Amino acid sequence: MTLIYLSIAWIIGIYLGSKYTFPLWIFASGIIPLLLIPFLSKQKKTLLLSSLCILIFLGGGRHYHSNIPKINEQCLQFYNDKGNVEIEGMIITEPELRDRSSVFTLSARTISVDATTRQISGSAIVYVSRYSEYHYGDIVKLIGKLEIPPQFDPATV
């Protein structure tokens, strides 16, 4: 039963952590039940479990925030919807032929924006002419606009 309480505290902590940010000082509230043990020694097990649930709940909220990717100038997606860019990178999937185009994934190494070149990391799905000669492992330099990919409704796919 203890594991169920701790699991529920973790899940609720992650959910509420997605809505609110818990300040670090609030972790001290997990110690409050421990301070009551000398006065309520008959409920020692309950107080320990309460303290642990509070700490796990707050830890779940912090865990959510620590796993959000940091998007900065070294990330390819930072440049989405910001106009024309020049990207150099390696093709990391075999190009897939479609009706009117060919599609592959590019692992970006550098990007040039407004005559400034930076080292970056990230992948892009690239659409090119169907009759282009690209192969897995090719190093290419592409010029174009980066766009945020559309999100498809799984029910309609």
Q: What angle do CA 24, 25, 31 make, to 5 degrees?
A: 115
**Confidence band for 108, pLDDT divided at 50, 70 and 90:** very high
> Among residues 145, 127, 140, which one has the least CA distance to residue 91?
140
> Among residues 81, 98, 97, 31, which one has the least CA distance to residue 58?
31
Q: What pLDDT score does 10 carry?
A: 93
| Secondary structure of residue 141 in the 3-state scheme | strand
Structure-block tokens of residue 126: 């690239």
Express each pLDDT in 16-72 by its tens digit.
988 988 787 787 777 777 777 777 778 888 888 888 888 899 889 888 888 887 777
Kindly report the pTM of this predicted structure.
Answer: 0.58
H or E element: which one contains 62?
Answer: helix 44-66
